[in-house]
Structure 1
Amino acid sequence: MIDLTKLPLSITSFSDFCERNKIYIDKTDLVAKLAQFDAPIFLSRPRRFGKSTLVSTFHELFSNGL
């Protein structure tokens, strides 16, 4: 049985994941391709499915070069 108290359910910022020594995994196979686009992208994912965290990840990647 998985201990849900150890899952970072309230973290939505990629920098918070790094600061708290947590791991963020987006298993979407198209994330690397999204990072290569040079045009606006509409993200359509179900509610509570990591849209804010994904956008935060891209922000950290492109602003800080992580």
Structure 2
Amino acid sequence: MLYPIGIQNFEKIRRGGFVYVDKTDLIYKIAQTGQYYFLSRP
């Protein structure tokens, strides 16, 4: 399993066979709760 550490280009992630997890739906749910969250990104 390849992790895209340091890669900021979506095309390189997809073409390179790296792991990509789309969490867009989860971010929407968090935004709708009206609470504060700290989202850390490695």
Q: Same fold (TM over 0.5)?
A: no
Q: Report TM bin, short chain.
A: 0.3 to 0.5
- Taking structure 1 as the reference length, the TM-score comes to 0.31
- Taking structure 2 as the reference length, the TM-score comes to 0.40
